[in-house]
Amino acid sequence: MMIETNNEEQERYYCPECLAGLLKVKHVTYFAHVPGEMITVPDFPAWVCDICGFQEYDSLALTRLYVLLDPNTVRRPRRANQPHTSSDEAPAATISK
């Protein structure tokens, strides 16, 4: 599921665990174990059941987080005298070992 940020009426998602509650958008603390360390991300978007507490992390937010945590993804900083490209983000490069 992907959390929409518009003000339109949200679709109703029923809890796949208890089948009675509704999943609602909340912000929780996300925990991840990366080799050698524990990562915590506060205010991470998730769908949480209003009855049993089941939670499912937002898929778009997870994708963005995984890109940030991927050790093979490197962002090249833009130099001050380098012209700005049309892309909002710097191109990604991979490091071969």
d(CA 12, CA 22): 7
Percent of the chain with pLDDT over 90: 38
Between 12 and 72, where is the model more confident?
12
pTM to 2 decimal places? 0.58
Average pLDDT of the chain? 75
What CATH topology corresponds to 13-77+87-93? Answer: Ubiquitin-like (UB roll) (3.10.20)
What's the token pair of residue 7? Answer: 């003000």
The string of pLDDT tens digits covering residues 30-69 is: 988 877 888 899 999 999 999 999 999 989 999 998 888 7
Average of pLDDT values for 57-84? 72
| φ, ψ dihedrals at 96, nearest 5° | -95, 140
Confidence of residue 1 (pLDDT cuts 50, 70, 90): low
Give domain limits for the chain: 13-77+87-93
